[in-house]
Structure 1
Amino acid sequence: MPTHDGSWPQGTPCWVDCQVDDPARAREFYGELFGWEIEDSPPGAGEYLMAMRAGRAAAGIGPKPEGMPMPSVWTTYFAADSADDIAKKIVAAGGSLITEPFDVLDMGRMFVGADPTGAVFGVWETKAHSGAGVYNEHGAYCWNELNTGDYKQAQEFYANVFGWHYTETGDGHNFVYSTFSLTHDGREVGGVNDATKMPGDNSSYWLAWFQVDNTDIALATARDLGATVMTGPDDSPYGRMGVVQGPQGEIFGIIDTMTRVDEPPTGS
């Protein structure tokens, strides 16, 4: 079981949580789907719930911010050594702040921002809570992917804010995709997809992917629990996958990375 202790390196996807109208309903859905043990947060943390796998934090579930109309969503958070410093970089790079940095009890300091193409994400500065303690296993997040309507602008923005380095893996024409890492020759920690090359909606958003042991069973279970299967199951060089819209409208991906077809592309 891949686990992590302590702060994540700056720029790494370090946490995911969903904001919904009814956290109690989401608790039942995700607990059944992913086998999460879901715990209540300490007093003062509102209705925020902590999803656990084998005693380690895997994800969060919380209510939508009061007085802030928004759809139900999964949010990807990036680690920051200083949330305030990253907030300044976001604005300087052409992004925007949806919330100013604020403290979350003694757990950490955070804010929510948006890149210039409209994709929303969170930033987390570790204090008592360092983010995900488990990843890349059944019921834990395994990949975070930006789908963007302006590929080059998005790459430039995140490089300026977090110092990301990109490796192009698509064919450069019909499939434009890159992975990003924290250093030039570092391990890939997420991906960027040119949404204009895909049919349908070309809006910009971050998509969280959760690993499962069996995609077909997970999709069927999600459907039985009231979710909508938007795509899949589909085979790929990265795994057997599908995209799901939860019962309250939040969208996420699931993937069995052990069931693969062909080899991943090596780039154009």
Structure 2
Amino acid sequence: MADVTTPYATGTPCWVDLMAQDQQAALDFYRDLLGWQGTVGPAEFGGYAVCELLGKPVAGIGPAMAPEGMPEPPTVWTSYLATTDAQATQDQIVAAGGTLLVPVMDIGTLGRMLVAADPQGAVFGVWQPGDFFGAGVVNEPGALIWNELHTTDVEAAAAFYGDAFGIDIVPADGVDSYGELHVGDRTVGGATLLANDPPNTPPHWLTYFAVDDVDSTVDALVKRGGTVLAPPFDMVAGRMTVVADPQGAPFALIKPRPRG
């Protein structure tokens, strides 16, 4: 198992979470599909549940709550990028042309967070660790394995995420119109043109979870009320699919090709 035991470098996707209209139904769905264990959390944190895989934190699921006078938020997975200073990163996001959606706030002693949108409209979170640094297991079946930016302008996105986080977006070897997100000498995610998505899809970050068998997991998802958005297919990184949970949150599933 790929355990993570130290904080993530600035700019690295470190956590994903889902705000669901029916939190318990979401907890049940992902427990059955990916093997997560999670229960409704304490009231002081709005009932937010930290789901675990074999005892390690893997993702968050909370109840969808709208600020007074605001519409309910969409049911989507949000990718969080790590930082060592949330306030400084917030300032950099705004200076680089991003839009602040939820200003920096303390989450007890766990850390600090904010939510923003890049200039093309893709929403993401930022996490500054305190007692909690993010996903404790990645790149294993049932866990987060990839975070992918879908944007109308990869070049403009590269400038924004470079200014705000120090992320480089460089062309991927052997894959047309696809970029890799680099933090230092590590590849931490991907970027692709929104033109490859269905019409009217807004810019977004897509969350990928690893599985042992894509096709059988899709069968299980459909039986539990999920929807297939892109049927399983083989690609350079492995076999994958794009799906949505019963409440409409899109995500991807992938069985990566063996390395070597």
Percent identity at matched positions?
40
Equivalent residue, structure 1, for 2:25: 25
Asked whether the 8 Å contact 2:161–2:168 carries over to 1, the reply is no
1:160 aligns with 2:163: yes
Find the counterpart in structure 2 of residue 132 from structure 1: 135
User: Which residue of structure 2 aligns with residue 266 of structure 1?
Assistant: none
CA shift for structure 1 position 39: 3.4
Contact 1:141 1:209 in 2 (8 A): yes
* Helix, strand or coil at the partner of 1:98: strand
Q: Post-superposition, which runs of at least 4 consecutive aligned residues in structure 1 deviate over 3 A?
A: none
| Aligned residue number for residue 178 of structure 2 | 177
Distance 1:57 1:90 in 2: 27
Matched position secondary structure for 2:112: strand
Amino acid at match of 1:133: G
Determine whether 1:103 maps to 2:106: yes
Change over 3 Å in CA distance of 1:258–1:240 after alignment to 2: same
CA contact (8 A) 1:240 1:259 kept: no
* Residue identity opposite 1:179 in structure 2: E
Please give the per-residue CA displacement for 1:48-82, whole angstroms capped at 9, x wherever unaligned: 11110111100000112333422101000001101
- Structure 1 match to 2:35: 35
Report the CA distance between 1:41 and its aligned residue.
2.6
- For 1:16 and 1:165, the matched residues in 2 are separated by 21
8 Å contact from structure 2 (residues 146, 207) kept in 1: yes
Report the Cα offset of residue 3 of structure 1. 0.7
Aligned-residue offset at 1:197: 4.8
CA apart distance, 1:202: 5.0
Task: Within 5 Å, give how 1:98-247 maps onto structure 2.
Answer: 98-169=101-172, 175-183=176-184, 186-198=185-197, 200-247=199-246
Q: Is 1:65–2:65 an aligned residue pair?
A: yes
**Aligned twin of 2:255:** 256
Residue identity opposite 2:180 in structure 1: T
Tell me how far apart the structure 1 counterparts of residues 207 and 143 of structure 2 sit (CA, whole Å).
10
How many residue pairs get matched? 257
Deviation at 1:43, TM superposition (A): 4.2
**Structure 1 unmatched runs, 5+:** 264-268
TM-score in terms of structure 2 length: 0.94
Distance 1:248 1:205 in 2: 18
Match of 1:56?
Answer: 56
Distance in structure 2 (CA, Å) of the matches to 1:95 and 1:12: 18
C-alpha deviation, 1:204, in angstroms: 0.6
Whether 2:93 is the aligned partner of 1:90: answer yes
| Cα pair 2:98 2:116 within 8 Å, conserved | yes
Deviation, 1:89, is: 0.2
Checking the alignment, whether the CA contact within 8 Å between 1:176 and 1:194 is kept in structure 2 is: yes
The one-letter code sitting in structure 1 at the alignment partner of 2:96 is A
Question: What is the distance in 2 between the residues matched to 1:155 and 1:109?
Answer: 25
Aligned counterparts of 1:210 and 1:72: Cα–Cα separation in 2: 17
Q: Distance in 2 between matches of 1:52 and 1:259?
A: 25
Q: TM-score, normalised by structure 1?
A: 0.91
